[in-house]
Amino acid sequence: MDIQSRTLLLRSLLAQLSEDAPRDAAVLEGDPARVMIGLRDLAELGLISGQLLHGEQSDGQGLLLISATEITLTRRGAAFKAEP
């Protein structure tokens, strides 16, 4: 995935999340595999929190998520989302 695609994915996920309304990965818009990759990236950046379960498979960035529930933005994530 190129940098522009990844940036669009992360922005899309941030737009679907909030600080006070937990969501599960299954209800987020987008290709499920890409959503999980994006959520992993957001978690690594400290922009989200939730119940994130890593599987045994990995890619060049590390272990892939197999489940993500109760996802909310952290304060840092909310601040990042608010930036233009």
Structure confidence at residue 82 (pLDDT): 82
Pairing of strands 62-73, 48-59: antiparallel
Structure confidence at residue 83 (pLDDT): 74
Q: What is the largest CA-CA distance in the chain?
A: 37
> How many angstroms separate the CA atoms of 16 and 38, rounded?
12
pLDDT, tens only, 22-69:
999 999 999 999 999 999 999 999 999 999 999 999 999 999 999 999
Structure confidence at residue 2 (pLDDT): 86
Architecture of domain 3-82: Orthogonal Bundle (1.10)
pTM of the model: 0.93
